[in-house]
């Protein structure tokens, strides 16, 4: 039996580190942050009870270094490690190393991570458990000839997928037999480069499905429950941009079927902790297991707002061997929640990642809003880590009310210093297809040109341009050092004057 958890090492950075630190404090646990040299000034470092420097900015020398993380946990007297998402969260070797070091891994058993991390093994296990899988192969392909045979049997178009794939990488669409041999060779070498293993398999390419996922929680006392679905169909290059709960496409009866499949999937690998079963939902209503994410997801807040459950606090309780506090009988979705990922990417230039110092930040506020941010004014956004600045989440009694709140919030948000996805999100919130709930995984391909054409926020864009100009002016005229610790070079009073001049709400 592990000793009681009192101190948790948070092996991550940015918004999710801050989110976990807050949950630790609410559970009356101490939290220890870790940081790289690039993150000295990050808010998660200040929020923790203690912090340990890992090393230089590259993730391989900091957030991905298992020995450094274990040393930090030992040196600071932690009993547990929470991996967050990304970095080492889905590495079975990390979960194992943490347990071998006598510490509690806040996540599932290493065996469950391993089984779900191998996409063909996961497909075999799901099939055995009676969970429908996307048609295709359940073992890696041996050679191009086998790929051609299996593709023909499955029926074109097919997707070649890396067995060890993740993050939307290592997928190749093949529409005709003539392309399969070269696509197989390319997919293989891509998989070797990205994941260190060249195994690939085939899945039928589904036409215009929705990406629907089910949140589950399982505790060490044998309870596995589902907390409804999230609609994550708005994606770019298989990466999610906007998520909502519930989905307009899921009726209570379908929700029950999806939930039963999800809990069976989790049970089949002896899952414990918070996890997500991803499905593709075809236009005809059939659904297929896609994969399981064996960690907390970026988009978990929409589920929390609709079900009134704190998933990260439940993760901590479950890791400590306690039963979860959630009771299936009391679980009913209430209202609607939407999340926009505010990233440092230029939506009008192919979502090119942007770097620079975030010079000014005005966070929207008001009823039904949640800002899960990891960057504040004065912090630099670098290319070392993912470009997420914050998750803006809006809740409302209805989908329409949630969208309206999100629209207002996006209008209030001001970020100066680098391009962000803000304007893109505002345009989605005004898009007729989105408003009608007509989304599937091809939405962005279809809506992209339309979203880029229109100019929906001249007021805000003008204000940002003015603020940027003001900033440049202040820099030119005042070469003096900052007398106080305020990182924001624009004093609020100056901003207010500009905003009034521009006729903007404050
Ligand atoms: P990863 O592990 O890299 O995230 P997934 O298997 O979860 O890959 O797929 C990511 C996204 O790719 C899905 O959300 C969906 O948009 C698309 N996708 C994956 N498999 C299929 C398929 N068989 N047919 C159509 N689209 C797919």
The tens digit of pLDDT for each residue in 456-485 reads 555 566 566 656 656 666 676 665 444 444
CATH number of the domain within which 333 lies: 3.30.470.20
CA pair distance 422, 399, nearest whole angstrom: 20
pLDDT at 488: 42
Strands 273-281 and 352-353: unpaired
| Ligand 1 pocket by Cβ (under 6 Å) | 134, 159, 165-169, 203-206, 209, 211, 235, 238, 278, 280, 290-291, 441
Q: What's the distance, CA 31 to chain centroid? A: 22
Q: Is residue 443 included in any domain, yes or no?
A: yes
Q: Please name the residue whose Cα sits nearest to atom 12 of ligand 1.
A: 238
* Contact (CB, 8 A) for 188 and 200: yes
List 172, 230, 295, 362, catalytic entry = 295
Q: Is residue 126 included in any domain, yes or no?
A: no
Q: Which of 65-69, 227-231, 369-373, 495-499 has the lowest mean pLDDT?
A: 495-499
Q: Is residue 222 included in any domain, yes or no?
A: yes
CATH number of the domain within which 180 lies: 3.30.1490.20
pLDDT digits (tens, 9 = 90+) for 119-154: 999 999 999 999 999 999 999 999 999 999 999 999
Q: Is residue 55 included in any domain, yes or no?
A: yes
Q: Kindly state whether residues 191 and 228 are assigned to the same domain.
A: no
Q: Is residue 171 included in any domain, yes or no?
A: yes
Q: Kindly state whether residues 143 and 260 are assigned to the same domain.
A: no
pLDDT digits (tens, 9 = 90+) for 173-225: 999 999 999 999 999 999 999 888 889 999 999 999 999 999 999 999 999 99
Q: Is residue 119 included in any domain, yes or no?
A: no
Question: Structural domain of residue 161, as residue ranges?
Answer: 135-204
In three state form, how does the secondary structure of 86-103 look?
A: CCCCCCHHHHHHHHHCCC
241: left (phi over 0), alpha (psi -120 to 50) or beta: alpha
Is the pLDDT higher at 328 or at 340? 340
Q: How many domains does the chain have?
A: 4
Q: Kindly state whether residues 226 and 91 are assigned to the same domain.
A: no
| Omega before residue 246 within 30° of 0, cis | yes
pTM to 2 decimal places: 0.90
Q: Is 298 exposed, middle or buried (0-12, 13-18, 19+ CB in 10 A)?
A: buried
Q: Is residue 484 included in any domain, yes or no?
A: no
Active-site annotation holds for 295: yes
Q: Is residue 345 included in any domain, yes or no?
A: yes
**3 state DSSP class of 263:** helix
CATH number of the domain within which 63 lies: 3.40.50.20
Q: Please name the residue whose Cα sits nearest to atom 19 of ligand 1.
A: 290
Q: Kindly state whether residues 350 and 408 are assigned to the same domain.
A: yes
């Amino acid at each position: 039996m592990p000793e009681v958890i009192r101190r948790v090492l948070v092996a991550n950075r940015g918004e999710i580190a801050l989110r976990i630190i807050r949950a630790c404090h609410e559970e009356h646990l101490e939290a220890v942050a870790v940081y790289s040299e690039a993150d000295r000034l990050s808010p998660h470092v200040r929020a923790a009870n203690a912090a340990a420097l890992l090393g230089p900015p590259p993730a391989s020398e900091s957030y991905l270094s298992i020995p450094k993380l274990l040393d930090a946990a030992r040196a600071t007297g932690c009993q547990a490690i929470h991996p967050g998402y990304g970095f080492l969260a889905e590495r079975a070797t990390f979960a194992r190393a943490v347990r071998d070091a006598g510490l509690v891994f806040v996540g599932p058993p290493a065996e469950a991570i391993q089984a779900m991390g191998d996409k063909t093994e996961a497909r075999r296990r799901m099939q055995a458990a009676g969970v429908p899988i996307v048609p295709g192969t359940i073992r890696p392909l041996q050679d191009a000839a086998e790929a051609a045979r299996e593709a023909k049997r499955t029926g074109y178009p097919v997707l070649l997928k890396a067995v060890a794939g993740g993050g939307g990488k290592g997928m190749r669409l093949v529409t005709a037999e003539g392309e399969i041999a070269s696509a197989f060779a390319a997919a293989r070498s891509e998989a070797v480069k990205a994941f260190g293993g060249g195994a690939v398999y085939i899945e039928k390419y589904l036409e215009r499905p929705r990406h629907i996922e089910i949140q589950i929680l399982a505790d060490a006392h044998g309870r596995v429950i589902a907390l409804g679905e999230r609609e994550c169909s708005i994606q770019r290059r298989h990466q999610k941009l906007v998520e909502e709960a519930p989905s307009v496409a899921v009726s209570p009866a379908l929700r029950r079927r999806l939930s039963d499949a999800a809990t069976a999937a989790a049970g089949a690998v002896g899952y414990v902790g918070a996890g997500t079963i991803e499905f593709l939902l075809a236009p005809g209503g059939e659904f297929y297991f896609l994969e399981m994410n064996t960690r907390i997801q970026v988009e978990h807040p929409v589920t929390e707002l609709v079900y009134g459950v704190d998933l990260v606090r439940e993760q901590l309780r479950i890791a400590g061997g306690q039963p979860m506090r959630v009771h299936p009988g009391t679980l009913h979705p209430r209202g609607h929640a939407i999340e926009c990922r505010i990233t440092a990417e230029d939506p009008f230039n192919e979502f090119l990642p942007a770097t620079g110092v975030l010079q000014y930040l005005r966070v929207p506020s008001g009823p039904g809003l949640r800002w899960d941010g990891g960057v504040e004014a004065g912090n630099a956004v670098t290319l070392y880590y993912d470009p997420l600045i914050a998750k803006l989440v809006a809740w409302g009694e209805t989908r329409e009310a949630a969208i309206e709140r999100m629209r207002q919030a996006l209008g209030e948000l001001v970020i100066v210093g680098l391009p962000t996805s803000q304007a893109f999100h505002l345009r989605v919130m005004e898009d007729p297809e989105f408003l009608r709930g007509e989304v599937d995984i091809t939405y962005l391909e279809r809506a992209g040109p339309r979203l880029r054409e229109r100019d929906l926020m001249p007021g805000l864009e003008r204000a940002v341009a003015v603020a940027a100009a003001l900033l440049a002016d202040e820099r030119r005229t005042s070469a003096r050092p900052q007398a106080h610790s305020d990182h924001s070079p624009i004093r609020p009073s100056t901003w207010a004057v500009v905003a009034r001049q521009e006729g903007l709400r404050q």
